[in-house]
Structure 1
Amino acid sequence: MIQKIKARLAFLNLRKLGALTLFFMCINLFSCKDDKPKTATPSTGKINSLSIVISDQLWNGEVGDSLRKKFAAPVDGLTQEEPLFTITQLPVKILDGYKTISRNVIIIKKEERNFFKFEKDQFAKPQNVVHISGNNVAEIIAHIEKHGDSIADKFKETEILKNQEIINQSLLDDKKIRDKFKVSLKIPSTYKYVMSRRNFVWVKREILSGNTSLVIYKVPFKTILKDDDVVTNIIEMRDSFGGKHIKGKNPNTRMITEESYSPYFFSTILDGKRTYETKGTWEMKGDYMSGSFINYAILNRNKREFIIIEGFCYAPSTDKRDLMHELESIIKSVKFLK
């Protein structure tokens, strides 16, 4: 009898042990599933678009004015006024049970807490989400004024990367550029070589209303740094190369920098190298053609020279912001070969 009781107890213990083992196996199974990376929802939106979640009352008042001043300001260097971002206003109630998957989002709320926060990939990827709240209009505007420029820079950086991702889907063979200038560029295959000289390469993309172009050449160190007037030196340089290589349809026409407007000038870094960025408008001397340009003069200290990469467009009946943004995205893909 005692032996039967002991055997029965041993059997029950084995059943408990088996149940516990199964329990922990299930926990481990679900834990493993939870540990697996979840696929992020792809963000959406056209290039240079921005969604602002805000009440109509705030949007139609001083807060909306402050937002438009920062994020719909005219883009530098275009022949006509076009906004930095194309803004879509969305009501706050859209957040109730819904996650916005726009690439760039600003959420404005009037509530008790005075708050600013930047979230990366909160609802989708890639995505920038900016949360701003305040107890009153003055507090909200203070956040926009304080952080607006850095927010815009971050949005622009994301849009450059998105454009480069699109460009990378089909690329032009840049061997000619590599061989001549020892740099690589990721250029869409929609561009074609139209000129290749010893120290000058020109590629062009035809569009319905005109064309967009990239030119690459190099100049000695002293061409740009011969004195303190760097901007004037860059303009003289681009007018010299434009006049030599880029002509109009009529005889004795040549590309020059628009004489009526001063260009915009900035210093930046490309591929770790000091770079001068110049934006403005060009015209065809002796003709009626004109358009926008963006010029990057990249300093190569080792060879005491500048690599010049310039994008320009001719699109008289088309908005030029996104055309110039594509050219900027291409230029910022530059890599110096070792």
Structure 2
Amino acid sequence: MNKILILFVASLALFSCKRSSKADIILPRSTGNTNEILVVMKSADWHGKPGDEIRTVFGEHQVGLPQPETLLSVNQIDHSGFSKFIKNNKAILLFQKADSTGISIERDKDARPQIVIKATYGDELDLTNLIKTRGKEIIQLFKDEDIKFTQSIFRKERIDASKFKTVENLGIDIIIPERYKLVQDTLNNFLWMRHHLMSGIARGDGSNNLLIYSLPLGDETKVADNITSVRDSIGEIFIPGSREGMYMITEQAYTPFTYETTLDGKKAYETRGKWEVKNDFMAGPFLNYTIVDKKNNRLVVFEGFTYAPSVNKRDFLFELEAIAKSLKIK
């Protein structure tokens, strides 16, 4: 009887082991900052042509920022040093020699959340060409993962945005973290919220701001061309300066960059540029998403702008991008 019981328990344990999955494994929390990746590559390649290609592709500057800042911050380590806690980095680009050239993705391999992009190649020429041809795709994969990661954090500390008249009237849902405080919410469907920066040189004076409003659709072919004039008129009405005659406008010495994109599955335009206060010295970067909502014959606009003198602003604007991309039209 005892033997039968032992065999039954052993079989049950074996069955349980087979049923266990990676999701059941408790992984450590990943390390590393947003917009930062770890490149695992042979030091000889890093100091040669492949490394030069990485610095060229990954060193591209984010448009619309007052000071030059790269799309991603890149750190490199040789395979010999890639072990233990270093494998817990949340964003890893791992280069390995193989019979074929390409990229593959693995998530939550050694930590959570984590994305590991494995890039395989045959020789140095293959490696250099891989970076040149698929570098932008790799960058976007890392950026998209950071957006999801940032939104997951904001989701835990989100405010009830439905209490704002503009959000309710526009019939939208959006994840806004509680650090943002109300500045203005009008019956004209205009919402302005602000987060006072609490660290760094910009502490006290610095702020991250988000605006949400809507406009009639009009001629769809002219939407992109009118983004600058629309935001200037909004600035004149709603974003005043410290004295009369001062208000936020698009910086006249810098032409914004506008790209067609999608947001909430709808056609949209992403515009990045610099703002300034007319007749004053305040300025900074902005990010504008103008969504074509054909169903309701309107444009829904999300804009984020940052005022953070004397500090880098890439990550502040990225936070606003993550909020914008959480917007859903009901």
TM-based fold match above 0.5 = yes
Letter in 2 for 1:202: W
Letter in 2 for 1:115: T
**In structure 2, do the counterparts of structure 1 residues 168 and 132 end up closer, same or farther at CA, with 3 Å as the change threshold?**
same
Q: Is the 8 A contact 2:103 2:120 kept in 1?
A: no
The answer to whether residue 158 in structure 2 is matched with residue 171 in structure 1 is: yes
- Number of the residue aligned with 1:88: 75
Alpha-carbon distance in 1 for matches of 2:70, 2:31: 20
Q: Is the 8 A contact 2:37 2:72 kept in 1?
A: yes
The alpha carbon displacement at 1:130 in A equals 2.0
The answer to whether residue 15 in structure 2 is matched with residue 31 in structure 1 is: yes
Moved more, 74-83 or 25-34: 25-34
The answer to whether residue 3 in structure 2 is matched with residue 19 in structure 1 is: yes
The alpha carbon displacement at 1:97 in A equals 6.5
The alpha carbon displacement at 1:312 in A equals 0.4
Alpha-carbon distance in 2 for matches of 1:319, 1:306: 31
Unmatched runs of 5 consecutive residues or more in structure 2: 198-202
Counterpart secondary structure, 1:168: helix
Counterpart secondary structure, 2:156: coil
Letter in 2 for 1:28: L
- Number of the residue aligned with 1:119: 105
User: Whose Rg is larger?
Assistant: 1
- Number of the residue aligned with 1:9: none
TM-score norm. by structure 1 comes to 0.87
- Number of the residue aligned with 1:250: 243
The alpha carbon displacement at 1:34 in A equals 4.1
Moved more, 265-274 or 114-123: 114-123
Alpha-carbon distance in 2 for matches of 1:294, 1:249: 23
The alpha carbon displacement at 1:50 in A equals 0.2
Alpha-carbon distance in 2 for matches of 1:229, 1:96: 54
- The one of 46, 50, 60 aligned to 1:73: 60
- Number of the residue aligned with 1:318: 311
The alpha carbon displacement at 1:230 in A equals 3.3
- For 1:253-332, list aligned pairs within 5 A: 253-332=246-325
The alpha carbon displacement at 1:68 in A equals 1.7
Moved more, 285-294 or 23-32: 23-32
Q: Is the 8 A contact 1:115 1:131 kept in 2?
A: no
Counterpart secondary structure, 1:52: strand
Q: Is the 8 A contact 1:215 1:309 kept in 2?
A: yes
- Number of the residue aligned with 2:191: 201
- Number of the residue aligned with 1:60: 47
Q: Summarize deviations over 1:229-286 as a string: whole Å, max 9, x none.
A: 4333111111100111111113211111112222111122222222111111111110
The answer to whether residue 172 in structure 2 is matched with residue 183 in structure 1 is: yes
The alpha carbon displacement at 1:49 in A equals 1.0
The alpha carbon displacement at 1:81 in A equals 0.8
Moved more, 198-207 or 163-172: 163-172
The answer to whether residue 136 in structure 2 is matched with residue 157 in structure 1 is: no
Q: Is the 8 A contact 1:41 1:123 kept in 2?
A: yes
Moved more, 302-311 or 115-124: 115-124
Alpha-carbon distance in 2 for matches of 1:97, 1:258: 48
- Number of the residue aligned with 2:130: 143
- Number of the residue aligned with 2:232: 239
- Number of the residue aligned with 1:217: 213
Identity %: 30
Alpha-carbon distance in 2 for matches of 1:118, 1:98: 22
Letter in 2 for 1:51: L
Alpha-carbon distance in 2 for matches of 1:251, 1:328: 31
**In structure 2, do the counterparts of structure 1 residues 211 and 97 end up closer, same or farther at CA, with 3 Å as the change threshold?**
closer
Alpha-carbon distance in 2 for matches of 1:96, 1:166: 28
Alpha-carbon distance in 1 for matches of 2:321, 2:8: 56
Q: Is the 8 A contact 2:266 2:292 kept in 1?
A: yes
- Number of the residue aligned with 2:200: none
- Number of the residue aligned with 2:32: 45
Q: Summarize deviations over 1:56-83 as a string: whole Å, max 9, x none.
A: 2211221111112222311121111111
Q: Is the 8 A contact 1:103 1:126 kept in 2?
A: yes
TM-score norm. by structure 2 comes to 0.89
Alpha-carbon distance in 2 for matches of 1:238, 1:77: 15
The alpha carbon displacement at 1:126 in A equals 2.7
Q: Is the 8 A contact 2:100 2:120 kept in 1?
A: yes
**In structure 2, do the counterparts of structure 1 residues 285 and 95 end up closer, same or farther at CA, with 3 Å as the change threshold?**
same
- Number of the residue aligned with 1:334: 327
The alpha carbon displacement at 1:315 in A equals 0.7
Q: Is the 8 A contact 1:118 1:128 kept in 2?
A: no
Q: Is the 8 A contact 1:116 1:130 kept in 2?
A: no
Q: Summarize deviations over 1:60-111 as a string: whole Å, max 9, x none.
A: 22111111222231112111111111111112112356771212111224x4
Q: Is the 8 A contact 2:101 2:122 kept in 1?
A: no
- Number of the residue aligned with 1:8: none
Unmatched runs of 5 consecutive residues or more in structure 1: 1-14
**Equivalences, count:** 317
